[in-house]
A and B are shown apart, each in its own frame.
Chain A
Amino acid sequence: MRKILILIQKEFKQVLRDKMIVAIIFAVPILQMLILPWAIDLDVRHVSISIVDLDKSTYSRDLISLFSASESFNLYSYYDSYKDAIQDLQMNKVDVILTIPANFERNLIRDNGNQLSATANAINGVKAMLGTYYLNMIIKDFNQQIVLEWYPQIESSLSNSIDVRSSVWFNQEGDYKNFMVPAILVLLLTVVAGFLTALNIVKEKEIGTIEQINVTPIKKWQFIIGKMVPFWAISNIVFIVGLLIMVYLYGIPILGNVGLLLLYANVYILSILGLGLIISALAHTQQQAMFVNYFFVMILLLMSGLFTSIDSMPSWAQTISYSLPITYFIEASRAIIIKGAKFSEISNLLLILGIFVVIMNGLAILTYRKRS
């Protein structure tokens, strides 16, 4: 026991003396929590649009004013010819071009209908798709205005048509931050718990101090506990600081039980510490460990349902997603924070995370045995 205590004490001393590491552990997560949620927003706003108005009539001006009033669009410029407008699109300055044909108003009144042309820059596919979708919505509104203007008597029949209104539950404003902040918190926890532990052990290999440790009567498990406890504690601190930022800075309340959230977090930390141990057993230099870490960060980042919906992945990718512990912890933390889920609703997630703890640490013990 005395031996483990001095190992833990030594670890804390070393971590706290390395100013760079202290900064990485505490400042970087906080900064990321402050910056990233604002930037990572998958809602498309400010689609920049150029309008080629060949008609210059009252109707065309009405239509343009709808676009300039919309939050979804930024009016980039007006043109008199399509040729000028397309140049902006080629220079990647605008996302969508709307062309209002000559005699738009006249033909509309005469023929009871007309056509508009929209050209979208699909280099950013999401923007092009959503941009044309918004554009259609605005034109649909415009269409309805005209119909009402011309045939006020059919208003009643219009209101009889099916009108779909959606309401967003658990996140009333549909605010992306409510969704992203808990996810970023999970990611930070992963980096601190798993990768700092791995790098720390590999560092001892690299500078040779492990040689001196290995000839002492210290057992492998004592050494590992001595490494895990400090980083487990640091992970908890980082997580709690992150939660405070989330609640007080972003005003996202934890609807569920905080204790329950910490319970899930700690089970998750244990599984990630296991991953860190596996990496540290296999890597010989910090460089190797860094790149393995990087590989896992990318996988965890993009496949865990952090940014994208797992349901829209191909089935083989879903299989990978469901074999990552982070997937379940993100699900659990979102459920607890946003939805206020009770333990009984998400107990299966704890079970799965528990299984990961056993698998990861079992593998870690095996790789360590093999290497010794």
Chain B
Amino acid sequence: MKIIEINNLTKTYNKGKVIALDNINLAVEESEIFGLIGPDGAGKTTLFRLLTTLLTPDKGNAKVLGYDIVEDFEAIRESVGYMPGRFSLYSDLTVKENLQFFATLFDTTIEENYHLIKDIYEQIEPFKNRRAGNLSGGMKQKLALSCALIHKPKLLFLDEPTTGIDPVSRVDLWNMLKKLGREGITIFVSTPYMDEATKCDRIAFIDNGHILNIESPENIITNYKQNLFAVKSEKTYLLLKALEKFPKTINSYAFGEYAHVVLNGDENQLKEYLVQNDFKEIDIKKIDPNIEDCFIEEIRVISQHNRGINEA
């Protein structure tokens, strides 16, 4: 059985004027960590809200744990855990009270499923009598994760769990997710951070309400067929401008202190061009793509495709 199965799911807002999700198809396998990667406004949260039965779709359907998201919403609510992107626990209740509260709502107790949350909860236990509102960002996320896990869900929805927390807590959180994945809990997680994509078993790129590609991060990288170079010079802004004008450039964009450029040629041709244009201290190296390069390439291909359709 597929844990999540989405068929032609469409969701619009404002009476159809805003298309949040356009004809989405997706399947998530048992006990995998499935990442939904995309920029802000891509439709990630809408998809989460649909799958957790907080919204109903306009068209298409989806099954979560074999239950239809419209017909069997009650069964879904019994058996999934959801951690919204925004901290949604009671900030005027203490850590322990929040946990107790959600355990009771799911007809269970903290003791019954303590083994599941033990690793996470132990880190916030020293503050168990502190009000949730007074916790740091990372602590809040750990508490939210504990509350989402307390009823032993088969499937965990995490909407941008690492947004707004420090790098150490981010690494912490991903290690926990890995561990939960090994215990057989399927995890459906979204993030705007491309570097986190590699931590997932499989990822789906989402942009503008469309799913672009579904693959394992390794395959996405090995499937990248373009010539990719990192270029540096003393004048970064002018370099970017010049790269755009270079006839053999397919795509170029800033990436940290380097500019990444996809070429329809080799590095010597680029170097020659840059020297002609008075650039100094030029550093060009051929690089392997990372996830972000792959995502940008996907978007380029799609928009080229769309332009083709429009022009035709």
Residues of A within 8 A of B (CB): 2-3, 6, 10, 13-14, 17-18, 207-209, 211-218
A18, B101: Cβ atoms closer than 8 Å:
no
| A14 x B93 contact (CB < 8 A) | yes
B104 touches A2 (CB 8 A): yes
Q: Which are the 4 A-B pairs with shortest beta-carbon distances?
A: A212-B88, A6-B104, A208-B88, A216-B105
Q: Is the CB of A215 within 8 A of B82?
A: yes
| Separation of A216 and B76 alpha carbons in the complex (Å) | 9
Known: A10-B93, A209-B90. A217 touches B84 (CB 8 A): no
Candidates A3, A18, A214, A217; contact of B54 at CB < 8 Å: A214
CB distance from A203 to the nearest CB of B (A): 11
Interface size class of B (residues with CB under 8 A): 20 to 34
- Whether a CB of chain A sits under 8 angstroms from the CB of B52 is yes
Q: Apart from A10-B93, A10-B101, A217-B78, list 12 A-B contacts with CB within 8 A.
A: A2-B104, A3-B105, A6-B105, A13-B97, A208-B84, A209-B88, A212-B147, A213-B105, A215-B53, A216-B102, A217-B106, A217-B107
Chain A CB within 8 A of B92 CB: yes
Identify A216's interface contact among B86, B89, B100, B106, CB under 8 A.
B106
**Which B residues are within 8 Å of any A CB, using their own CB?**
52-54, 74, 77-78, 80, 82, 84, 86-93, 97, 100-102, 104-107, 147
B52 touches A215 (CB 8 A): yes
Contact B92 A215 (CB under 8 A): no
B77 lies within 8 A of A216 (CB): yes
| Residues of B close to A218: CB separation below 8 A | 105
Instruction: Contacts A17-B92, A217-B105 given; indicate if A212 touches B74 (C-beta within 8 A).
Output: no
Contacts of B97 in A (CB 8 A): 10, 13
Q: Roughly how many angstroms separate A17 CA and B102 CA in the complex, as a whole number?
A: 19
Q: Please give, as numbers and ranges, the residues of chain A lying within 8 Å of B92 by CB-CB distance.
A: 13-14, 17-18
Query: Which of chain A's residues have a CB closer than 8 A to the CB of B147?
Result: 212
Query: When chains A and B are docked, how far (Å) is the Cα of A17 from the Cα of B105?
Result: 22
Determine the residue in chain B with the shortest Cβ distance to A6. Answer: B104
If A3-B104, A6-B101 touch, whether A215 touches B90 (CB-CB below 8 Å) is: no
Pairwise interchain contact B78-A212, C-beta atoms closer than 8 A = no
| CA–CA, A212 and B53, complex, Å | 12
Contacts of A216 in B (CB 8 A): 77, 102, 105-106
CB distance from A8 to the nearest CB of B (A): 12
Q: How far is the CB of A189 from chain B (nearest CB, A)?
A: 26
Cβ contacts A to B, 26 pairs, < 8 Å: A2-B104, A2-B107, A3-B107, A6-B100, A6-B101, A6-B104, A6-B105, A10-B93, A10-B97, A13-B97, A207-B88, A208-B84, A208-B88, A211-B54, A211-B86, A212-B82, A212-B88, A212-B102, A212-B147, A216-B102, A216-B105, A217-B74, A217-B77, A217-B106, A217-B107, A218-B105
Counting chain A CB atoms within 10 Å of each CB, the highest count among B89, B91, B93, B101 belongs to B101
Residues of B within 8 A of A207 (CB): 88, 91
A218–B97 alpha-carbon span in the complex (Å): 17
CA distance A216 to B105 in the complex (A): 7
List residues of chain B with CB within 8 A of the CB of A217: 74, 77-78, 105-107
Knowing A13-B97, A216-B77 are in contact, say whether A208-B86 is a contact too (CB < 8 A): yes
Query: Nearest chain A CB to B304's CB is how many angstroms away?
Result: 38
Measured between beta carbons, the chain A residues less than 8 angstroms from B82 are 212, 215
Q: Is the CB of A215 within 8 A of B80?
A: yes
Given known A-B contacts A10-B101, A13-B97, A208-B86, A215 and B77 have beta carbons under 8 A apart: yes
Interface hub of A18, A212, A213 (most chain B Cβ within 10 A):
A212
Q: With A and B bound together, what is the CA distance between A212 and B74 in angstroms?
A: 14
- The smallest beta-carbon distance between A180 and chain B, in angstroms, is 37
